[in-house]
Amino acid sequence: MKTIGRDEFKAAIKAAGIEPGLKWWHDWDKTDWNGRSGWAGKNGNPQGLLLHHNGGAATESTEAKDNKDCSKDENGSKFVNRHPDFNSPASQFFLRRCGQLDINAYTQCYHAGKGDFTGTEWNGHKIPRDSGNSYLMGIEIASKGNRNDFTEAQWDTLSKLAICLKDLYGWKDTGTYYFPRHKDWAGSRKNDIQASNKFVQGKFEEYGNDVWWDGQVPEYLHMIDLQADPDTPYAGSWRLTMRLHDLGFGAQSKKPVKGEQSWPTKNYTLWCEANGVDPEAVYSGEVHSAIFGVNLVCECCGQELPSE
């Protein structure tokens, strides 16, 4: 597997179907935080995601009505984005209680601290003592830290992120081996996160099963042809249907069968109406980019355009 770069990382995160959305902090794509560059793991990619809590959430209520305002975690996110001791991110991700995912970095940064996997189920990672930052990504999850108080919106986002990173970096699955808690690395020095590994896996199972799209992006120019032939089943129409479902515009109660799904007129119309697009207009490059989370494409050749 090749080393995953900036554009591939961003496209994958954007396509993960995370709601209520993403925040890309300034300099998230910097590649030399504190003089660190690249990953020490196989093929220059990270080997897992370490789960942290920040201990500074505004509330430990898990009720949705108490966590709708994403701005309540703005100060916590700012702290993680620029840790005052290091003037750098304290983890690659910050997860607000409303479910919003903030992206601070995609390469190495400080978060793991002192620790060791020797003699544990994570020994197979072969990470040298106190070198977790060089091998593991990190996510700070907004929490009081006194009990297992993550919101359902946070579990939803974390589960989608887990699937996204698994597919992006070629991890075998979303099991505990690839998603250890900070306490699993740091031992008694840390108590995060409060949820057990079994509980985390249960939530991944609960929310992960709702992801229908297989992550493959159909060719843009082919999608124009599929829209013009709405009654014939095609793989591209099936992928569009699955993707729209994950974005909250599903009209099916059961997963469509590949090879049987034609153009999803109802799903697509719902998405268009919510995004100010004429569903009768020819499928555009901007629509393709917005739905599948890829860079804008050239409407002549169908190739992705470089990121700004």
Q: CATH no. for residue 272? A: 1.10.101
Q: Do 196 and 247 belong together in one domain?
A: no
Segments forming the whole domain that contains residue 256:
220-292
pLDDT at 213 over 90: no
- Return the amino acid letter for 163: I
Q: Which residue has the tokens 């106190």?
A: 130
What does the alpha-carbon distance between residue 177 and residue 168 come to, in Å, rounded to a whole number? 16
What does the alpha-carbon distance between residue 37 and residue 134 come to, in Å, rounded to a whole number? 9
93-95 sheet: strands from edge to edge? 22-24, 101-103, 93-95, 136-141, 48-53
Report the run of H or E that residue 156 belongs to, with start and end: helix 152-169
Question: Which of the pair, 300 or 271, is modelled with greater confidence?
Answer: 271
On whether residue 302 sits in a domain, the answer given is no
Report the run of H or E that residue 11 belongs to, with start and end: helix 6-14
Joined tokens for residue 274 = 């919510």
Q: Do 203 and 225 belong together in one domain?
A: no
Q: Do 137 and 20 belong together in one domain?
A: yes
Question: Which of the pair, 28 or 214, is modelled with greater confidence?
Answer: 28
Q: Do 228 and 89 belong together in one domain?
A: no
| Contact between residue 47 and residue 136 where contact means Cβ atoms under 8 Å apart | yes
pLDDT bin (cut points 50, 70, 90) of residue 308 is: low
On whether residue 308 sits in a domain, the answer given is no
| Contact between residue 98 and residue 69 where contact means Cβ atoms under 8 Å apart | yes
On whether residue 62 sits in a domain, the answer given is yes
Q: Do 137 and 268 belong together in one domain?
A: no
pLDDT at 63 over 70: yes
| Contact between residue 99 and residue 154 where contact means Cβ atoms under 8 Å apart | yes
Q: How many domains does the chain have?
A: 2
Question: 27-52: per-residue pLDDT in tens?
Answer: 999 999 888 888 998 889 999 999 99
The residue length of the chain stands at 308
Domain boundary residue among 175, 208, 241? Answer: 208
Joined tokens for residue 180 = 């250890």
On whether residue 265 sits in a domain, the answer given is yes
Closest CA to 181 of 91, 49, 51: 51
E strands, the chain, are 22-24, 48-53, 93-95, 101-103, 136-141
φ, ψ of residue 51 in degrees (nearest 5): -95, 120
Question: 216-260: per-residue pLDDT in tens?
Answer: 899 999 999 999 999 999 999 999 999 998 888 876 667 788 888
Question: 118-149: per-residue pLDDT in tens?
Answer: 999 999 999 999 999 999 999 999 999 999 99
Q: Which residue has the tokens 């607000």?
A: 96
Question: 175-198: per-residue pLDDT in tens?
Answer: 999 999 999 999 999 999 999 999
Q: Do 71 and 119 belong together in one domain?
A: yes
C-alpha Rg value of the chain to the nearest Å: 20
On whether residue 71 sits in a domain, the answer given is yes
pLDDT bin (cut points 50, 70, 90) of residue 307 is: low
Average pLDDT for the chain:
91
Predicted confidence at residue 116, as pLDDT, reads 97
Closest CA to 176 of 48, 88, 278, 1: 48
Percent of the chain predicted with pLDDT > 70: 96
pLDDT at 207 over 90: no
Predicted confidence at residue 17, as pLDDT, reads 83
Query: Does residue 193 have a cis peptide bond before it, meaning omega lies within 30 degrees of 0?
Result: yes
On whether residue 214 sits in a domain, the answer given is no
pLDDT at 304 over 90: no
Question: Which of the pair, 85 or 124, is modelled with greater confidence?
Answer: 124
The CATH number assigned to the domain holding 118 equals: 3.40.80.10
On whether residue 35 sits in a domain, the answer given is yes
